[in-house]
Amino acid sequence: MEELGWLAISGRIVQQTLPVWVAMAIVFVLSIRFRRRLGLYGKLFDSNVGMVGFGIVLFWVLTAIFADLIITHDPLAQMRGMRNAVPGSRLANPADQYPYYLLGGDSLARDVFSRAIMGAREVLKIAPFAAMISFMIGISLGLPAGYFGGRLDTGLTFVANLVLAFPVILLFFLLVAPEIQATVIPTAMAGVLFLVPVLFVMVLLNARFFTQPMKRNLYVGAALLVGLWAYSGLAFNADPLGVWGMRANLLNVFVAVVFVNAPTVFRIVRGITMDIRTRDYVAAAQTRGEGPWYIMMWEILPNARGPLIVDFCLRIGYTTILLGTLGFFGLGVSPESPDWGSTINDGRRLLTVYPHPALVPALSLMSLVLGLNLLADGLREESLRD
Amino acid sequence: MKHERNDPMAIHPAARMYAEECRTGRLSRREFLTRATALGLAAPTAYGLLGIAAPQARAETPVQGGTIRMQMDIKAQRDPRTWDWSELANVCRGWLEYLVHYERDGSLTPVLLESWEANEDATEYTLRIRQGVTWNNGDAFTAEHVRHNIERWADASVEGNSMASRLGVLSEDGQLRADAVEVVDDHTLRLHLSSPDIAIIVSMADYPAAVVHPSFTGDDPVGNPIGTGPYRPVSHDTGIGAVIERNPDHTWWNEGNGAWIDRIEFVDLGTDPSAWVAAAEGGEIEITYQTTGDFVDIFESIGMPSSEAITASTLAVRFNQTQPPYDNVNVRRALQMAVDNETVLELGYDDRGEVAENHHVCPIHPEYAEMEPPEFDPARAAEMIAEEGLADHEFELISIDDAWQAATCDNVAAQIRAAGINIQRTILPGATFWNDWLNYPFSSTEWNMRPLGVQVLNLAYRSGVAWNEAGYSNPEFDALLDQANGIADADERREVMLEIQRLMREDGVLIQPYWRSLYRNMRPEIRGAEMHPTFEVRYQQYWKA
Amino acid sequence: MLLFLARRVGVMLVTALCLTFVVFFLTNLPAKLETLAKTQAGSRMSDAEVASWLDRNGYNQPMLMRYGEWLGVVPGWTREEADGTVRGRCVERMGAEGYGARCGLAQGYWGQSTRFRAPVSEVIGTRLGATGWLMLWVLIVMVPMALIVGVLAGMREGSRTDRSLSTFAIASTATPEYVSGVLFIALLASSTVGLSPLLTSWGVIDGPVLFQGNARSALEGITFWNFTLPVLTIALYGMGYIARITRASMTEVMTQQYIRTARLKGVSFGNIVLKHALRNALIAPFTVIMLQIPWLLNGVVIVEVLFSYPGFGWTLYEAAVNNDIELLLAASVVAVIVVLLTQLISDVGYVFLNPRIRVT
């Protein structure tokens, strides 16, 4: 049974990931060409750090998108004779399959390369989405808390501090346990947490367009329809069309991650709001007679976007690490899931003998988080230059 | 190994019959030893019936002294009869001894008994209690103490008392039957069974059957360590470790035949074997409790050879027939058909065992009937699932989070998936898994070995029994099993067994991929610590060269 | 100032009360109690046995009542057995006097750990001590390392040193403990791969491994060899963030007027950094270090489990896995106190370091 050398392996990996490289080249050429017209995003390409970070993140995003084209084997399929196979091993009986395990096989004889690629999709399916929901919740609560102050602020801050006082791991053990999954708690929490983004979008649109009732009704109505549709599917798994849906354990993990992240976002937004509230343009809007929600959503929020975008990038990275932590404690998303955290945890036990099953996802995870951090740094530098 | 002088008049006729079967190859030697010794023969006599000498226990002379450090889970102690993990028993083996021991070769050796014999139809057993045994508080050990222990074992009102179900032939309404145990004199006891049972003595070798002092109130055997054995506990910290030392204030009845080491230290390093490897490399442990999968090789590579025990332990990937869609026999059979057991053994258990045949009777069981291997036809499996209208149904296979069990189920699921049937996996943490283990629609359960083939079938597949996790209820099967239970001769029983095995397969009761071999790794200087098929750690016999 | 402290302590109490109730609620769900019964009395028990066990051990009263018992505001449960003996929460602790008495937090009783079969206060006490040592060494390693990296990087913004050190800092925050810990073990504590076989063959080290990949022996005595890897693992992950804050703060200070003045006056660069810039640049990192401590708790759980070091994090893990209710409650109280106390210290310390701010 011949094995591939490292050079051949690298060559084949580049070949497999070709769609990613092509797409990346296109994005970069276009972005650099038109960077002056692209606002903050365009400025990213003025900073080396930002560009490197963006490049890494883009690589993984594109990989996740093209994952189906890239993988060489079904990430769950197990081939006889390929247990812990070294990188570049040839299949015993390839038939019409791709004849090599490019990065070797794991302890269940699955293809490490395909799992890492599919893992990118798993991770990027959850982390940014969870971060986004956390942000919407944090913003929806942080804006009024910072803007109105008073009792509302005291109450919300207390609740946020309450959640933050929990050691994250304890919270996960309490919330992600299988016994909890069987109760109504995750669904109830999802019911509350997922409602906030729907309300957020509606208030956002309503505040903007309430002077033009026709347009408002149309936009808000459409948003409500789509929002409730997604809401019914995601929170209660009751989507009549079956487009939106989440497995019970995924929902559980998702809710826990959002629950942990939202209070931090809340605190950031609240702080920024309290700062921006005293600015002149807010006073101007107030004298114009704008409603408080308009001011919050359309005056304060856009001006707070810099630090929020930076934190968003960091938070995706942090969420990725958090998901891995869950995997480490066996609370992961799904047992066979190729997500990096669980894969690292499965592979780490045999690291001293067969390093590749753990190293590949570990390096992937580290590079993605590194990329997100660099991207955040670049964005911070550039937004400070405004 | 204790050397027993045998009572020459007491060779049970059935034992002679078994010996004949064994000589003609119809009974394995291991099985012969189990059954002959269960009927009261001492191991050397049993070997004698076969016309061979008992294997010499050891050629080297044991060295006195030293400390052994062993990796083992240390769980919170409780009343021995409610023990549910062998680890709990192993800690206490140094001072709580047993009436009999089950040996690696399948024989039984008397410990606190001197000998025992059964009557013709195995309904009456006479137990002779060993003379000269004392408790470490100075009391003499008597037949009354044994009666007291049997009474404790038979008490079904204690939650989690697993001995009660083993002593059904001695009890009535969840308590010991008044006339079941007759104390003949200080050192003789007679058991009157309500029906024949050749497993009763074997049951007394099971780990929850530790013999406790009459003053034991049922909470913590470590806190008040009165026992007959040569050791005593020094410290016991749940989750961390336990230290046991030789008891200088007690004269052990078996002085000179064991209790070599001064001290044994159990270290609880959690469930992650890579932590054990790290600890072994740092010199913190010298022997593991049980090693599985790739770790056998890893330990060997760092200078800790392995000791293997071949067993009838297995993983039963069973369907619960009371839950849809598994109430449909075609679905069960289709899923069986999608799985190649040899592949499961290779990928899920690293080829460390024997392929099994989906009927939970092991070739090392005497009554095992040879059968053609189960059918493997993934294409037909997918067709059958489609015919039942379940092409889009997503099956779910549940397992505990233990590494080898999860890996095995992952492979079963992968094969089912490869056949084109939708399936997802769920892994539950150890603490949660047992909450509902009897009712999961499709899940896997670890079964330890029982010496006889009918024993597990009686425990797990007869209609309505407590551990019938398959929800299997087939009057024909029950009738055949009753019939088999009544046949002492293995050959005759094998004919019934063939029908039983076939029935179980036709009814698609379970996917049973393999029989496990068990491993333990230790430093080369450690002796007497070979892997035991039922995980016993009898550190009285351990020593260091 | 006193009023401020009193208010903070008040908030702390209310927070702890709320948190413990949440923990209590989540650990006392019926399914969780079943888990507890099965881990305590036998994993293959029948449903009837589970019910009877829960009943006999006082778990089937209303949840609020039992929370009250734990707090010590409601008398503990008692129960007369068939044979006339009386059992109960307080009876086991105080003997016959415990009948009808209260025994809970208010009476200074933290309860009994079901996992470790020992009083919770004892378990938490010893384990916190173990973690104390770990944290001490982590801080000793992490803080100076982070400050040095941050100051060096922030001294000359945009220089090559800055770029490489910043990248290192970012990379260290991008490497979670469960990756770095495992890599360290493979590289430094394995007799088959990494550095150790090399060193052994060169005769540099006597044993088969350089460091120990398991910290259990540190319970008996902390040595350089058994404690380096866990300390390094936590320190590395926590370091990056502090280093970045220090760098940011340092760069800001270095652009201040008074630094420029000093430079123009001809003070040497080293003197400027040490005498003028450092004190002001360290205000921000101080608060961050304090706030980092509760956050390190996460890392502590992972590392203690990974290296089987029985400290507070390991106890938390064991208690959570085994649904050890009273131990978990105590652990969460400790966690709340740590979080809020470090916040308080960081606020107060901020005032002392920065005289321009007053506590109101």
pLDDT in tens, C178-226: 889 888 888 888 777 778 778 877 877 777 778 888 888 888 888 888 8
Task: Find, in chain A, the residue whose alpha carbon is nearest to that of C180.
Answer: A362
Round to whole Å and give the CA distance between C197 and C54.
Answer: 54
B135-162 average pLDDT score = 90
Distance between B532 CA and the closest CA of chain C, angstroms: 23
B86 burial class (0-12, 13-18, 19+ CB within 10 angstroms)?
A: buried
Percentage of residues in chain B having pLDDT higher than 90? 47
Tell me, what's the pLDDT at A171?
84
The helix-helix angle for A150-165 and A248-276 (nearest 10°) equals 130
List the B67-71 sheet strands across, edge first. Answer: B67-71, B263-267, B241-246, B231-237
Tell the CATH superfamily of the C120-353 domain: MetI-like (1.10.3720.10)
Element at C320 (helix H, strand E): helix C312-321
Name beta bridge partners: B355.
B514
Tell me, what's the pLDDT at B1?
31
Give residue for tokens 């400027």. Answer: C272
Give residue for tokens 């068990």. Answer: B518
CB distance from C233 to chain B under 8 Å? no
Distance between C244 CA and the closest CA of chain B, angstroms: 33
* From A165, A367, A370, residue closest to C340, measured CB to CB: A165
pTM for the full predicted model: 0.85
Round to whole Å and give the CA distance between C137 and C238.
Answer: 13
Tell me, what's the pLDDT at A88?
87
C19-47 average pLDDT score = 85
Q: Chains with 3 or more CB pairs closer than 8 angstroms to A?
A: B, C
C22-43 average pLDDT score = 86
Given a cut of 80, whether residue B2 has pLDDT beyond it is: no
Tell me, what's the pLDDT at B192?
92
* CA pseudo-torsion sign B378, B384, B386, B388: negative
Write the DSSP symbol of residue C220. Answer: T
User: Which residues in chain B (273-302) have CB-CB distances under 8 A to chain A?
Assistant: 273-274, 277, 293-295, 297-298, 301
Round to whole Å and give the CA distance between A375 and A315.
Answer: 12
Domains of chain B (ranges, CATH numbers): 63-96+218-305+526-545 (3.40.190.10), 97-209 (3.90.76.10), 310-517 (3.10.105.10)
Cβ pair B303, A379 in contact under 8 A: no
Q: pLDDT band at B10, cuts 50/70/90?
A: very low
Tell me, what's the pLDDT at B7?
39
* From C42, C114, C116, residue closest to B159, measured CB to CB: C42
Q: Which residues contact B334 (CB under 8 A, 6 or more apart)?
A: B380, B381, B382, B384, B385, B388, B421
pLDDT tens per residue, range B251-305 = 999 888 888 999 999 999 988 888 899 889 888 899 999 998 889 988 998 889 9
Give residue for tokens 């989750």. Answer: B239
Residue predicted with more confidence, C85 or A136: A136
Question: What is the three-class DSSP state of B166?
Answer: helix
Tell me, what's the pLDDT at A323?
85
Percentage of residues in chain B having pLDDT higher than 70? 90
Q: pLDDT band at B8, cuts 50/70/90?
A: very low
Q: pLDDT band at B330, cuts 50/70/90?
A: very high
Instruction: Choose the mutation target among A166, A168, A189, A340 for the interface with C, i.e. most C CBs under 10 Å.
Output: A166
Domain boundaries, chain C: 2-117, 120-353
pLDDT tens per residue, range C258-299 = 888 888 888 888 888 877 788 777 777 777 777 777 777 778
Tell me, what's the pLDDT at B417?
92
**Mean pLDDT score across all residues of chain C:** 84
Where are the extended beta strands (E) located within chain C? 78-80, 86-88, 112-113, 118-119
Q: Which amino acid, residue B311? A: T
Question: What is the three-class DSSP state of B113?
Answer: strand
- Is A178's CB within 8 Å of B432's CB? yes
Pairs across B and C, CB distance < 8 A: 109
Name beta bridge partners: B69.
B265
Distance between C136 CA and the closest CA of chain A, angstroms: 19
Tell me, what's the pLDDT at B6?
36
Residue predicted with more confidence, B484 or C165: C165
B348-369 average pLDDT score = 88
Least confident of A312-326, B35-49, B369-383, B524-538: B35-49
Round to whole Å and give the CA distance between A252 and A323.
Answer: 12
Least confident of A230-239, B64-73, C7-16, C165-174: A230-239
Q: pLDDT band at B245, cuts 50/70/90?
A: very high
Given a cut of 90, whether residue B337 has pLDDT beyond it is: yes
Distance between C336 CA and the closest CA of chain B, angstroms: 25
Q: How many CB atoms lie within 10 A of CB C239?
A: 26
pLDDT tens per residue, range C157-178 = 778 888 889 888 888 888 888 8
Q: What is the CA radius of gyration of chain B?
A: 24
Pairs across A and B, CB distance < 8 A: 71
Given a cut of 70, whether residue C359 has pLDDT beyond it is: no
Residue predicted with more confidence, B495 or C284: B495
Three-class SS string for A342-359? HHHHHHHCCCCCCCHHHH
Three-class SS string for B214-259? CCCCCCCCCCCCCCCCCEEEEEEECCCEEEEEECCCCCCCCCCCCC
Tell me, what's the pLDDT at B3?
34
ipTM of the complex: 0.84
Task: Find, in chain C, the residue whose alpha carbon is nearest to that of B240.
Answer: C310
Please provide the distance, in angstroms rounded to a whole number, between the alpha carbons at the two ends of chain C: 7
Round to whole Å and give the CA distance between B425 and B443.
Answer: 10
CB distance from B351 to chain A under 8 Å? no
Three-class SS string for B300-330? HHCCCCEEEEEEEEEEEEEECCCCCCCCCHH
DSSP for C265-308 reads TT--HHHIIIIIIHHHHTHHHHHHHHHHHHHHHHHHHHHHHHTT
Q: pLDDT band at B59, cuts 50/70/90?
A: low
Round to whole Å and give the CA distance between B75 and C115.
Answer: 8
Cβ pair A116, A67 in contact under 8 A: no
- Is C174's CB within 8 Å of A370's CB? yes
Tell me, what's the pLDDT at B331?
93
Tell me, what's the pLDDT at B5?
33
Tell me, what's the pLDDT at B27?
66
* From B294, B413, B418, residue closest to A107, measured CB to CB: B294
Tell me, what's the pLDDT at B97?
95
* CA pseudo-torsion sign C100, C105, C106, C107: positive
Mean pLDDT, each 10-residue run in order, chain A (386 residues): 82 92 93 84 83 93 93 88 86 82 89 92 88 92 90 90 83 82 85 88 87 87 88 80 76 88 90 87 89 88 85 89 83 76 84 85 90 87 70
**Mean pLDDT score across all residues of chain B:** 86
Cβ pair B457, B360 in contact under 8 A: yes
Round to whole Å and give the CA distance between C89 and C87.
Answer: 7
Q: pLDDT band at C355, cuts 50/70/90?
A: low
Given a cut of 50, whether residue C360 has pLDDT beyond it is: no
